[in-house]
């Protein structure tokens, strides 16, 4: 899942996937609120989850953890 998230973020920011790691902080990427909203919609469609971007989501890993949490609650 981390790899797919990195791909999605790289696509959104028009940068190389290799620039994004699981420890990459969103604040370091210069993502604005519109980018975040669009990314969240893409993620919700991709993974069939419902997300709210909150202060606990600071990097790619914490985003992946939030998605995992949602997926596991559906089981």
Q: Please give the chain's pLDDT, 75 residues, in tens.
A: 899 999 999 999 999 999 999 999 988 998 877 888 899 999 999 999 999 878 888 899 999 999 999 999 876
Query: Full-prediction pTM beyond 0.75?
Result: yes
Report the pLDDT value the prediction gives residue 75, as an integer from 0 to 100: 60
Domain 2-73 has CATH 1.10.1200.10: yes
Work out whether the CA dihedral 8, 12, 14, 20 comes out positive or negative. Answer: negative
- Rounded CA separation 5/8 (Å): 5
Neighbours of 6 (CB within 10 A): 20
Torsion of CA 68, 39, 49, 26, to 10 degrees: 30
Q: Give the separation between CA 62 and CA 59, rounded to whole angstroms.
A: 5
* pLDDT at res. 19: 93
Task: Say which residue the tokens 């290799």 belong to.
Answer: 18
């Amino acid at each position: 899942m981390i790899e797919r998230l990195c791909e999605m973020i790289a696509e959104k920011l028009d940068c190389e996937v290799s620039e994004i790691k699981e420890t990459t902080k969103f604040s370091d990427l210069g993502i604005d609120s519109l980018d975040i909203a669009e990314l969240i919609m893409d993620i919700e469609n991709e993974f069939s989850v419902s997300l709210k971007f909150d202060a606990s989501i600071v990097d790619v890993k914490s985003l992946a953890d939030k998605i995992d949490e949602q997926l596991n609650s559906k089981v």
